[in-house]
Amino acid sequence: MNVADRIDIDVETEASSSCGTPSHWGFAFKLPAWLGFLDSDHFPSGRGEVLNLPVKSRASRWFPFIFLHFFALLALFHKPSPFAICLAVFLYFFRMFAITAFFHRYFSHRTFKTSRAAQFLFAFWGGLAVQRGALWWASHHRNHHRYSDRDGDIHSPIKSGFIWSHIGWITADCNMPTRYEIIGDFSRYPELVFLNRFDWLPPLFLGLALYGLGCFLELHYPSLSTSGNELVLWGFFVSTVVLFHGVCSINSLSHIWGSRPYRTDDSSKNNFLLALITLGEGWHNNHHRCPGSVRQGFFWWEVDMTYYFLRLYRALGLVWDLHPVPAAVREERLFPEPSRVRS
């Protein structure tokens, strides 16, 4: 067992033991049955039964992705203003940072500490990425590390193929419930559970804000040549679709394409290009070697923008106790041959 294994097991042990019977308002709040579809925790047949369903894609679960991609493609027939393009690029990186810094390095791996108010804002910020709630995202990611590239890994390209690892796994009913037993360290906060259950609230807020901004600019700053519809098409749909594939490339491409400087029990790889488009997540072999480190680019030449911004946040007092890369890990010699993936 290496240093990284101990960190992950400690997290899961605490999470499992602290979850208990859900009793706070975050769990107890119920919608009328006819509005149950608005609640991500609403499963008429029961959560346990859904979790035990076969790992199989369901056609209707592809509809949200078809919907997003349809409007993103529709935007290509609408010549964008320079403002709309800049906003789309900004929202891509703005939300990518939220996924990498908060959904991944904070909620999934607890690689730094912050205040209760800040963690709620971080969860809301990450929710703008339209990748469901922080607790759902983090619980599945913890499970991925526990079984990486083995039976039980829900998105391994080695075990299940590229398409499944990239997007298919999200269309399986059994992967829809949040695994609260794995994320008990955060599910004790009612406000996080509420936001996780109603994960459509942040995207709705973003969509309305973009439409309102576009209408305001069209009326008061016509020289920008933009509108509410344009900002929704480019700032929401195009930016969200590109963001989705950027994040999912770590599940798929980062286990297929790249280098392996560290020996791990999976196929994780480092990839400079993916690190650039995901603000540091492309140093995936580093991360699987030491998931408890806030820094994924271990050396100065491994660009990790998320880590740099988190250091700025630390200087501002918003976060603290950033977990470093252990010296023993940094000093490991590179292995001359790729390690074998366990089966």
pLDDT digits (tens, 9 = 90+) for 167-196: 999 999 999 999 999 999 999 999 999 999
Name 339's Cβ contacts closer than 8 Å, sequence gap at least 6. 260, 263, 264, 265
Predicted TM-score of the model (pTM):
0.90
Confidence band, pLDDT 50/70/90 cuts, at residue 38 = very high
| pLDDT value at 6 more than 80 | no
The crossing angle, in degrees rounded to 10, of helices 3-19 and 134-146 is: 130
Say which residue, 311 or 152, is predicted with more confidence: 311
Rounded CA separation 256/158 (Å): 8
Q: Which of 152, 138, 165, 175 is nearest to 256 (CA)?
A: 165
pLDDT band at 29 (very low <50, low <70, confident <90, very high): confident
> For residues 105 and 306, is the Cβ–Cβ distance under 8 A?
yes
User: Cα dist. 91→72, 133, 297, 342 in Å?
Assistant: 14, 18, 23, 38
Residue 151 and residue 82: Cα distance in Å, rounded? 47
Distance CA 276, CA 302 (A): 10
